[in-house]
Amino acid sequence: MFPLKDAEMGAFTFFASALPHDVCGSNGLPLTPNSIKILGRFQILKTITHPRLCQYVDISRGKHERLVVVAEHCEQSLEDLLRERKPVRYPSYLAPEVIAQGIFKTTDHVPSEKPLPSGPKSDVWSLGIILFELCVGRKLFQSLDISERLKFLLTLDCVDDNIIVLAEEHGCLDIIKELPENVIDLLKKCLTFHPSKRPTPDELMQDNVFSEVAPLYTPFIKPASLFSSSLRCADLTLPEDISQLCKDINSNYLAERSIEEVYYLWCLAGGDLEKELVNKEIIRSKPPICTLPNFLFEDGESFGQGRDRSSLLDDTTVTLSLCQLRNRLKDVGGEAFYPLLEDDQSNLPHSNSNNELSAAATLPLIIRERDTEYQLNRIILFDRLLKAYPYKKNQIWKEARVDIPPLMRGLTWAALLGVEGAIHAKYDAIDKDTPIPTDRQIEVDIPRCHQYDELLSSPEGHAKFRRVLKAWVVSHPDLVYWQGLDSLCAPFLYLNFNNEALAYACMSAFIPKYLYNFFLKDNSHVIQEYLTVFSQMIAFHDPELSNHLNEIGFIPDLYAIPWFLTMFTHVFPLHKIFHLWDTLLLGNSSFPFCIGVAILQQLRDRLLANGFNECILLFSDLPEIDIERCVRESINLFCWTPKSATYRQHAQPPKPASENSGVRSSTPYFSTECPDTPKTDLSRESIPLNDLKSEVSPRISAEDLIDLCELTVTGHFKTPTKKTKSSKPKLLVVDIRNSEDFIRGHISGSINIPFSTAFTTEGELTQGPYTAMLQSFKGKVIVIVGHVAKHTAEFAAHLVKMKYPRICILDGGINKIKPTGLLTVPSPQI
């Protein structure tokens, strides 16, 4: 959107016609209120941008089918040019075909297939009336009431020259005759009675009047969108007078921000549309007692109350005052509006109230999102970073780890997902019209998908849902539509309602990253492996809860499939999904496991206190989840989880290792920036699903063990040394081989608890020289190492039964470490 400049923001209101309450549509569901239909159709108007058009900003829905529209508003209008004070009377500008249609109402309460006459050619007629009034300097039809005006317009079908008849009717024939011939020709084209003979706007633009006027104006070139193949800087121009520009900017920084941003900040600063309209007496309320009917039938029909005049159309536009917003931002310095992106000293711009901003950054997310000054700084920063995407992609990631401003969430998610290129051309090339077998299932699922949201429940929202989902199905012939894909689409469509191509591109990038092969025709092996790894994650982080759930038979297959298949969009409302995915998109494909464990831990006390049937009932209607706590705990769980512990055979293959595969990434090990690492000789190996299911604790790779032990190798079979910098949690390696094998070579710092004598017949840990050390490491990562996989799995399971958290097994056993030269041999005793 364009900057606000010297324009204002205005609001006007109207009512949509109400539908009967006792009538359902052909699908058996209640009819969609007309206000929601208008809400959905209105959104496209927000995309129409031009320097000589007022910008539509927003529409909101109130009680009793009331709608309030917010748009760019200029105090001076054509009406002022005519020196009159009345509001414009819209019926006078209606085209004859629109008048002839009358008020259109369906009798069967289902959408009509009959096309409405209103359209671009109707607008050409309205333009002709406006031009006529400007030429003659007066308004038409002022001496006639509305019904007479409409009758007169319909009689124009019977005359030869509409322009002459209109001029004679209003006593301005002399003025019309003095007009240039090309202007009269333009008026005749616009006021052609039959729409079939009337030109379209494109055809009208070919008139020589416009060719003569066009050179007087700088042609408008719509800027290239962020995600396009066009060069975004191709048409950038500097103002001729930069000194004057700087002077103008210094006087009013807020005016340089887009109208959309200003309106968003206006709302945060306490702006209330309904209150503004009430103050101007546009909205009038009556005491409830005065609205009661005098007579009421059994079927609900009432009598005795006159029509409420406040529900009639009032096209008055109320100017929204920006004083409160300007006052709220009075301490924000000019540098906050133009942050330096290369400045690494702080991620928050400096201002007179910088201390307050720093304090705000530590507040809960829900408070930060409602702080006007904080959001202003974050919006401006993200706007600058996104305009430099993909060059500033790394800095976008860095700032997204702090938080993502809601206004910029849609574009930021696309940047985090790596969306690039000509997404519109790709989306437009997909056949979304030809019927396919999944059409029926899509039609059934959409009316059940997040329909509490007014935008997604609108007919326009349903149509967009249908196109985006169908585009994904058609463009991925190796995958199929599974129930839940609609829920997965919902966040992207909501954030990019006017940009289906971007919604599709985001969804297409999201699914292979987090749900690779989940939508295969036969996905049972993928789902089963995923749930098995999730079970191991529960045991790794909360062994007590894992033991209880396994004892009562409450396995993840009973509750977690819709969690992961839809990435929690099936179980949480959109506002919670936004906060959850803000963090999810910063993690790798294993982060959803941590979210699942965090949800279970919020319900931990209730789960531990109940049996199987009670747990089933609990999850049939999931209790309220504190999503901010869930995010915070998910990050903590993720930081404690070794990379390879969540290895899946059916995960998306990582990028191939570079030739310098011996060089490890400098990314901190326990980090939300942790990528999926390329496969090496020390990576985890795939094992059969049944073997994976038999193991309670997860396996980790030799590669991860080397990192966790902070070992480095100076050469093959040379003594390993500790890294100088310790940045990872402490870890204990428990070698369960017999003492003779342990002495021949072991990992530095490991302890030896032979498997054959480790546990008593009651399952308790046998007291020995290292049991006290094992107890002292309870709560830290403990890695079980051996040379028999069955023994290491059993040893780990025993520790989990004893409620030891963070137990894992070395994949491949000690044999995987031997070639690295990291095994040490104790010096002989003299």
Read off the pLDDT of residues 349-390 as tens digits, 9 standing for 90 and up. 444 445 666 777 788 999 999 999 999 999 999 999 999 898
Q: Please say whether the beta carbons of 711 and 726 come within 8 A.
A: no
pLDDT for position 669: 36
Tell me: do 620 and 482 sit in the same domain: no
Tell me: do 23 and 97 sit in the same domain: yes
Which residues fall within 8 angstroms of residue 629, CB to CB, at 6 or more apart? 598, 602
| Digit-coded pLDDT (tens) for 799-825 | 999 999 999 999 999 999 888 888 888
Summarize the chain as % helix, strand, coil (round to 5).
45, 10, 45
Q: Please say whether the beta carbons of 642 and 781 come within 8 A.
A: yes
Long-range CB contact pairs, 555-560, < 8 A, 24+: 555/531, 556/531, 556/596, 557/531, 558/616, 558/619, 559/619, 560/531, 560/534, 560/596
Residue 657 has pLDDT above 50, yes or no: no
pLDDT for position 557: 95
Beta bridge pairs of residue 747 = 823
Tell me: do 19 and 145 sit in the same domain: yes
H helix and E strand count, the chain: 37, 15
Distance, in Å, from the CA atom of 306 to the CA atom of 229, rounded to the nearest integer, reads 60
pLDDT for position 673: 44
- Give the CATH number of the domain where residue 613 resides: 1.10.472.80
Lowest mean pLDDT among 20-29, 334-343, 509-518: 20-29
Burial class (CB in 10 A: 0-12, 13-18, 19+), 267: middle
- Give the CATH number of the domain where residue 179 resides: 1.10.510
Judge whether 225 lies within some domain. no
Judge whether 16 lies within some domain. yes
DSSP 153-204: HHHGGG-S-HHHHHHHHTT-HHHHHTS-HHHHHHHHHHT-SSTTTSPPHHHH
Residue 83 has pLDDT above 80, yes or no: no
Q: How is residue 750 annotated by DSSP? A: -
**CA torsion angle for 544, 546, 551, 553 (degrees, to 10)?**
150
- Domain, as residue range, for 449: 423-515
Tell me: do 507 and 538 sit in the same domain: no
Q: 181-190 and 162-169 helices cross at what angle (nearest 10)? A: 100
Judge whether 806 lies within some domain. yes
Residue 564 has pLDDT above 70, yes or no: yes
pLDDT for position 665: 40
Judge whether 637 lies within some domain. yes
Beta-sheet strands, E only, within 633-735: 699-700, 711-712, 721-722, 731-735
**Which position has the higher pLDDT, 19 or 495?**
495
The average pLDDT across 513-530 equals 95
- Rank 110-124, 435-449, 640-654 by mean pLDDT and report only the highest: 435-449
Tell me: do 456 and 535 sit in the same domain: no
Burial class (CB in 10 A: 0-12, 13-18, 19+), 294: exposed
Q: Which of 67, 86, 64 is nearest to 77 (CA)?
A: 86
Which stretches of 650-765 are DSSP H helices?
A: 689-693, 702-708, 739-744
Question: Which of 646, 674, 705 is the last residue before a domain boundary?
Answer: 646
User: What is the β-pairing status of strands 721-722 and 711-712?
Assistant: antiparallel
Tell me: do 577 and 491 sit in the same domain: no
Judge whether 337 lies within some domain. no
CA torsion through residues 510, 516, 519, 524, sign: negative
What are the C-alpha distances in Å from 703 to residues 364, 696, 812?
37, 21, 11
Q: Please say whether the beta carbons of 571 and 562 come within 8 A.
A: yes
Query: Three-class SS of residue 746?
Result: strand
Q: Which helix (H) or strand (E) holds 246?
A: helix 242-251
- Give the CATH number of the domain where residue 481 resides: 1.10.8.270
Distance, in Å, from the CA atom of 713 to the CA atom of 719, rounded to the nearest integer, reads 7
Which stretches of 603-749 are DSSP H helices?
A: 604-608, 612-620, 627-640, 689-693, 702-708, 739-744
Q: Please say whether the beta carbons of 327 and 359 come within 8 A.
A: no
Q: How confident is the model at residue 249 (pLDDT cuts 50, 70, 90)?
A: low
Question: Which of 216, 249, 279 is the last residue before a domain boundary?
Answer: 216
pLDDT for position 52: 80
| Digit-coded pLDDT (tens) for 18-45 | 887 667 777 677 788 999 999 999 999 9
Beta bridge pairs of residue 30 = 24
Q: What is the pTM of this model?
A: 0.85
Share of the chain above pLDDT 90, in %: 51
CA torsion through residues 569, 572, 577, 580, sign: negative
Residue environment code for 411-443, b if the CB has 16+ CB neighbours within 10 A, otherwise e = bbbbbbbebbeebbebbeebebeeeeebeebbe
Q: Which of 141, 158, 159 is nearest to 150 (CA)?
A: 141
Tell me: do 532 and 509 sit in the same domain: no
Q: How confident is the model at residue 768 (pLDDT cuts 50, 70, 90)?
A: confident
| Digit-coded pLDDT (tens) for 668-699 | 333 444 555 667 888 889 999 999 999 999 99
Q: How is residue 783 annotated by DSSP? A: E
Count of C-beta atoms within a 10 Å radius of residue 683: 20
Residue 110 has pLDDT above 70, yes or no: no
Tell me: do 606 and 468 sit in the same domain: no
- Give the CATH number of the domain where residue 820 resides: 3.40.250.10
What are the C-alpha distances in Å from 151 to residues 138, 147, 172, 423?
20, 6, 21, 50
| Digit-coded pLDDT (tens) for 468-486 | 999 999 999 999 999 899 9
Tell me: do 585 and 734 sit in the same domain: no
Dihedrals φ, ψ of 592, to 5°? -60, -30
pLDDT for position 156: 81
pLDDT for position 137: 85
Average confidence score pLDDT of the chain: 84
Q: How is residue 474 annotated by DSSP? A: H
Question: Which of 589, 618, 646 is the last residue before a domain boundary?
Answer: 646
Judge whether 167 lies within some domain. yes
Dihedrals φ, ψ of 552, to 5°? -90, 0
Judge whether 311 lies within some domain. no
The average pLDDT across 187-206 equals 90
Q: How confident is the model at residue 714 (pLDDT cuts 50, 70, 90)?
A: very low
Tell me: do 497 and 631 sit in the same domain: no
Q: Which of 549, 584, 180 is nearest to 401 (CA)?
A: 584
pLDDT for position 315: 82
Distance, in Å, from the CA atom of 678 to the CA atom of 657, rounded to the nearest integer, reads 5
Q: Which two tokens stand for residue 512?
A: 């292979």
Residue 314 has pLDDT above 60, yes or no: yes
The average pLDDT across 114-143 equals 82
**CA torsion angle for 475, 479, 482, 484 (degrees, to 10)?**
-60
Tell me: do 478 and 544 sit in the same domain: no
CA torsion through residues 646, 648, 654, 658, sign: positive
Quote the radius of gyration of the chain (alpha carbons, Å).
Answer: 34
Tell me: do 441 and 567 sit in the same domain: no
Distance, in Å, from the CA atom of 538 to the CA atom of 698, rounded to the nearest integer, reads 10
Q: Please say whether the beta carbons of 532 and 645 come within 8 A.
A: no
Q: How confident is the model at residue 488 (pLDDT cuts 50, 70, 90)?
A: very high
Residue 798 has pLDDT above 90, yes or no: yes
The average pLDDT across 709-736 equals 59
Judge whether 155 lies within some domain. yes
pLDDT for position 526: 95
Count of C-beta atoms within a 10 Å radius of residue 306: 5
Query: Three-class SS of residue 354?
Result: helix
Please provide the distance, in angstroms rounded to a whole number, between the alpha carbons at the two ends of the chain: 82
Q: Please say whether the beta carbons of 397 and 347 come within 8 A.
A: no
Residue 150 has pLDDT above 90, yes or no: no
Residue 729 has pLDDT above 50, yes or no: no
**Which position has the higher pLDDT, 610 or 218?**
610
Residue 659 has pLDDT above 50, yes or no: no
- Rank 49-63, 344-358, 460-474 by mean pLDDT and report only the highest: 460-474
Domain count within the chain: 4
